[in-house]
């Protein structure tokens, strides 16, 4: 069995896999930044997260009104 005959296929397979992983990584990073911008916009409009306690939300609202 000669490995030399399959070298082109192996290199192409690794290159394709690297391109797919790189593309998915870039997509996740861009989506993360978009979600952060969206959350910041919602918080600026006064929408709070459900995980935040009501006391924290009231304190933040009082700070904004002051």
**Domain span including residue 66:** 31-66
Contact 57, 48 (CB under 8 A): yes
Residue 22 lies in a domain: no
pTM exceeds 0.95, yes or no: no
52 vs 43: which has the higher pLDDT: 43
Is 10 a member of any domain? no
Q: How far apart, in whole angstroms, are the C-alpha atoms of residue 5 and residue 8?
A: 7
Q: How far is CA 48 from the centre of its chain?
A: 20
Count how many residues are written for the chain. Answer: 66
| Phi–psi pair at 57, nearest 5 degrees | -65, -40
Q: How many domains does the chain fold into?
A: 1
Residue 46 lies inside a defined structural domain of this protein:
yes
Reported as a pLDDT band with limits 50, 70 and 90, residue 53 is: low
pLDDT higher than threshold 70 for residue 51: no
Is residue 23 situated within a structural domain? Answer: no
């Amino acid at each position: 069995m000669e490995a030399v005959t399959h070298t082109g296929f192996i290199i192409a397979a690794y290159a394709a896999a690297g391109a797919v992983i790189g593309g998915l990584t870039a997509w996740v990073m861009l989506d993360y930044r978009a979600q952060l911008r969206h959350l910041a916009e919602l918080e600026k409009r006064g929408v709070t997260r459900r995980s935040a306690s009501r006391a924290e939300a009231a304190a933040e609202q009082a700070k904004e009104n002051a």
